[in-house]
Amino acid sequence: MNRQIIFTPEKEASRDLTYSEYSSCKQSIHILFQDKGLEGYEFLLKAYRAAISAYLSFHKIESPARFLRTLVSRFDVLAREARLAPSEYQNFGAHIIVNTGRMLWLLSSDERSVHIGSAGRQVSCADAGRHLLSEVAVVDSGGQTELFPSSIKDCMRLYAITPPADEDVDLVIGCGEAERNSVFESLRMLSPKTAEPGGPLKQYIPLKYLNKKVIAISLSRSRDALETPVPRGIPVALAGASHRNIPAITLYAVLIATIVLALFWGAQKLTGQRPEREHTPAMESRIAADSHLGAAAEEAPPAEPEHSGLRGGGAAHELALLWNRSFKSAVTSSPAAAGDAVVFGCRDGKLYALNSLSGEPKWNYAASAGIGASPAVLGERVVCADYRGNVFCLNSGDGSAAWKRTLPGKISSSPLIVEQKVIAGCYDGYVYCLALGDGAMLWRFKTGGIVRASPASNGSLVIAPSHDGIVYGISLGTGAERWRHEIRIDLESSPAVSGTRVVMGGPDGTIRALDPVSGTSLWKTTAGGAVKSGVSISGDRVYAGSNDGHLYCLSLETGSILWRFKTGDIVLSRSCVFDGIALCASYDGTLYMLDAETGEQLDAYSTKAQIYSSPLVIGDLVYFGNNAGGMYCLRIVRKSAV
């Protein structure tokens, strides 16, 4: 017994696009294209039409994986024709499911909004165990493509989902963590209706808490259901037919609906109007806030001094270029000091060491894949990790390998060295502790989701946020859990620890402080957009960047906002604070130098490319990379007071 329900917003108009068809008793396709603020809505319509046309052109889909990969290639061509900017790719909300009867194939641009319900448990696709699904590469890039997409292919994930035998499975597609439980509850409350010949293929149910369409698919895996020849809602006359045998009137209806959509869009374009839709504060400012923003993030932030990206007159400090070097791929890794060198990873798969004064190369180490993690340095040891799960330790003098250990998942978080131990978070959901001397495994700790944030430590505990929405306090010595703090949202902001506070951000826009000893909540403050940057603590102040384009400065004691500074795009890098100066890098390609006390701008340096790398300061020199493959060294010129 199969059924599909489309939950729709009760009050808001929606431009989301859905399509479904049961071509036989064993095969069906379900399509959801969501309007997530994409600038080129015409592109969304064309991609939607291309998906349907491709499906209808097949007599039978022999290889769902090949079919879905072909669709992704077609989407890429359409994106180039529409001149869609790379920054817009992550707003492409597409989900396509092919059901073969025994297996589901899912192509999704946002696996965090796809949820699987089985055996009374609901998890997002990204956190589901390998017994339920396995990821099939759309394209093998070996990079951190989910953060830095250069094509539509980089934004899409392909999964093969194998429902357990004799167990019902529900798929909910298109909602975030906040709505997930409510949608599953609504699904359970709906009594199944017996399919009548000629009955509807799908049901539409309005829900007041939704602002986008959500597809729910129920699959019964019981023996009786598997032997039932007709899926729910399909006329008996069509059982066992391929979609080419569907009456012509059905195909004409699809064609007419597509033409009507196109004409409707054209009319809106000519009149300069677009249908109303909900906007977050970040959309209003043209800076993309994360799609997981909750109601709290939509509230106006408390009044505090705000500064724009305009340079104040009579600046006492300036940024001057000392040198810069170019590489073939993005430098998203943050540099670290190692003797007279700066070391950093590159997405070309190498760890580089440059002379800190001249920028001349000293050595490089070829890893097995791109490097997004930032190196950790202790004495003569440099530790880093690549996207293929390799943690490696090098000698800082010549870059020779001391040891390498391969972990069973991708690594994008940065390793931490504390007490002669290396702590690394991994996409397999574990936090690993290795010996700095030889890489031997000391312990590992299992979380319920991927670990993308870089762990922190107060010397006795490891603080590790996970994508299962839980912050874990783990004993550094034994790997035992000391406490957990449940937030129930995806956590990827790297925390900072100082004395009696551990502070981190969240995709709901919340900046929160916990007690590092007990994990209890001390305070929470809401920014105007998702907070995915690493957090910095300096003295009695906290600094955190947001997807609303601001750098926030908060009181470490109370969490009250002291000031915020507006940049031209999202802020994902960790700020560096020293000697009364705060350095903030933005996706607008600019490094801003601010007065750490007031938030006033002292100077700025533009690289004309997005910056994810966090700045490093050595004396009066500043080092950072950008997504165009540049590594920069700037000198802070301190002017004498007049």
Q: Which tens digit of pLDDT belongs to each residue from 587-633?
A: 999 999 999 999 999 999 999 999 999 999 999 999 999 999 999 99
The pLDDT assigned to 486 comes to 94
- Count of residues in the chain: 642
Q: What is the pLDDT of residues 468-503, one digit of tens each?
A: 899 999 999 999 999 999 998 888 899 999 999 999
Q: What is the pLDDT of residues 436-479, one digit of tens each?
A: 999 999 999 999 889 999 999 999 999 999 988 999 999 999 99
Q: What is the pLDDT of residues 167-219, one digit of tens each?
A: 777 888 988 766 777 888 887 777 554 444 433 345 677 877 777 888 888 77
Q: Please tell me the distance from the alpha carbon of residue 479 to that of residue 446, in angstroms, as a whole number.
A: 10
Mean pLDDT of 38-50: 80
- Compute the Cα dihedral for 304, 492, 585, 383 and give only its sign: positive
Q: Please tell me the distance from the alpha carbon of residue 337 to that of residue 175, in angstroms, as a whole number.
A: 43
- Closest by CA position to 330, among listed 576, 568, 611, 589: 611
Residue 407 DSSP code:
-
Instruction: Determine how β-strand 390-395 pairs with β-strand 401-406.
Output: antiparallel
The number of CA neighbours under 13 Å toward the Cβ of 293 is 27
Indicate if the pLDDT at residue 263 is higher than 60. no
The pLDDT assigned to 2 comes to 63
Q: Please tell me the distance from the alpha carbon of residue 411 to that of residue 385, in angstroms, as a whole number.
A: 7
Angle between helices 41-57 and 64-81 (to 10 degrees): 150
269 — pLDDT class (breaks 50, 70, 90): very low
Q: What is the pLDDT of residues 373-386, one digit of tens each?
A: 999 999 999 999 99
The pLDDT assigned to 134 comes to 67
Angle at 420 between CA 419 and CA 425, to 5 degrees: 90
The pLDDT assigned to 62 comes to 80
* Torsion angle of the four alpha carbons 312, 317, 318, 321, in this order, in degrees rounded to the nearest 10: -150
- Closest by CA position to 98, among listed 199, 191, 179, 219: 219
- Edge-to-edge strand list for the sheet holding 470-475: 456-457, 461-465, 470-475, 481-486
- Closest by CA position to 282, among listed 267, 271, 269, 298: 298
* Tokens 């049901």, located at residue: 203
13 — pLDDT class (breaks 50, 70, 90): low
- Closest by CA position to 211, among listed 113, 85, 88: 113
In sequence order, the 6+-apart residues with CB closer than 8 A to the CB of 404 are 390, 391, 392, 393, 439
The contacts found for 521-525 with CB under 8 angstroms, 24 or more apart, are 521/485, 522/559, 523/558, 523/559, 524/559, 525/552, 525/554, 525/559, 525/560, 525/561
124 — pLDDT class (breaks 50, 70, 90): confident
The number of CA neighbours under 13 Å toward the Cβ of 311 is 16
Range name among 21-35, 539-553, 576-590 with the lowest pLDDT average: 21-35
Distances (CA, A) of 639 to 154, 309, 317, 357, 579: 46, 21, 6, 21, 15
517 — pLDDT class (breaks 50, 70, 90): very high
In sequence order, the 6+-apart residues with CB closer than 8 A to the CB of 231 are 1, 2, 22, 25, 28, 195
Range name among 41-50, 243-252, 267-276 with the lowest pLDDT average: 267-276
Indicate if the pLDDT at residue 406 is higher than 90. yes
The DSSP H or E segment spanning 189 is helix 177-189
Indicate if the pLDDT at residue 107 is higher than 70. yes
Task: Say if residues 542 and 521 touch (Cβ distance below 8 Å).
Answer: no
The pLDDT assigned to 474 comes to 98
Q: Please tell me the distance from the alpha carbon of residue 463 to that of residue 184, in angstroms, as a whole number.
A: 32
Q: Please tell me the distance from the alpha carbon of residue 356 to that of residue 621, in angstroms, as a whole number.
A: 9
Angle between helices 41-57 and 248-271 (to 10 degrees): 170
Q: Please tell me the distance from the alpha carbon of residue 229 to that of residue 606, in angstroms, as a whole number.
A: 64
Indicate if the pLDDT at residue 421 is higher than 90. yes
Phi and psi at 238, nearest 5°, equal -100, 0
Indicate if the pLDDT at residue 166 is higher than 70. no
Tokens representing 589 are 């390609």
Residues forming a β-bridge with 391? 385, 405
Looking at per-residue pLDDT, the higher value among 108 and 204 belongs to 108
Give the number of other CB atoms < 10 A from CB of residue 499.
Answer: 9
Give the number of other CB atoms < 10 A from CB of residue 168.
Answer: 16
Tokens representing 58 are 């097949």
Q: Please tell me the distance from the alpha carbon of residue 454 to that of residue 473, in angstroms, as a whole number.
A: 14
296 — pLDDT class (breaks 50, 70, 90): very low
Number of H helices, E strands in the chain: 6, 45
Question: What proportion of the chain, given as a percentage, has pLDDT over 90?
Answer: 47
The pLDDT assigned to 119 comes to 66
